[in-house]
Amino acid sequence: MTALQERFKQIKTFIFDVDGVLTDGSVNLLASGERFRTVFIRDTYAIEQALKAGFRVAIVSSSNAEGVRSWLAATGVKDVFMGGPSDQKVNAYLGYIARDGLTESEILYMGDDTPDLTILQRESVLSTCPSDAIDEVQAVCDYISPKPGGRGAVRDVIEQIMKAQGKW
């Protein structure tokens, strides 16, 4: 068994960014000014399965789209930290782990862009990213999913963790 597979067995909490991770990073603009994003149903299914198996799933994103919040609520994700400056994502992350007494070695974080680097570079976190994350993110990640953001990267990491733990 590889060192990475051993790390997979320790994970109890998944934390995901939204744009570029749960979505492909596209924001569709309507004439009304309304914006919408698209999520991949297989990622949704994996999140639901992780929650049913007792994993924590949280969102840390500078995005503050009401449609995303509604979708997360329908999926069962309760720990949602959205809005605020993108360079302050780490504060939401640190507040979450302090509030709930989480251990960083039991956390998988998936991000794709510069605002995620501060969290991804934390030594104890299992840092992951989609295949289409920026080069600087890929350079610091423990695991790079073969799937792009919004097209199965979330499903990939959840499935890998749950299989390593015999829960998939």
Q: pLDDT tens-digit profile of 81-113? A: 998 777 789 999 999 999 999 999 999 999 999
What's the pLDDT band for 135 if we cut at 50, 70, 90? very high
pLDDT band per the 50, 70, 90 thresholds, residue 168: very high
Provide the angle, in degrees to the nearest 10, between the axes of the packed helices 41-52 and 66-75.
50
Question: How confident is residue 4, by pLDDT bands cut at 50, 70 and 90?
Answer: very high
Domain boundaries, the chain: 3-165
CATH number of 3-165: 3.40.50.1000
- Residue 17 confidence (pLDDT): 97
pLDDT score for 1: 72
Span 15-73, pLDDT tens digits? 999 999 999 999 888 898 888 889 999 999 999 999 999 999 999 998 888 889 999 99
* pTM > 0.85: yes
87 marked among binding-site residues: no
19 is in an annotated binding site: yes
CA distances from 45 to 33, 98, 144, 150, 160 (A): 30, 28, 21, 13, 14
Q: How far is CA 11 from CA 71, 97, 113, in A?
A: 24, 14, 22
100 is in an annotated binding site: no
With b for 16 or more beta-carbon neighbours within 10 A and e for fewer, the 43-69 pattern comes to: bbebbbbbbeeebbbbbbbbbebeebb
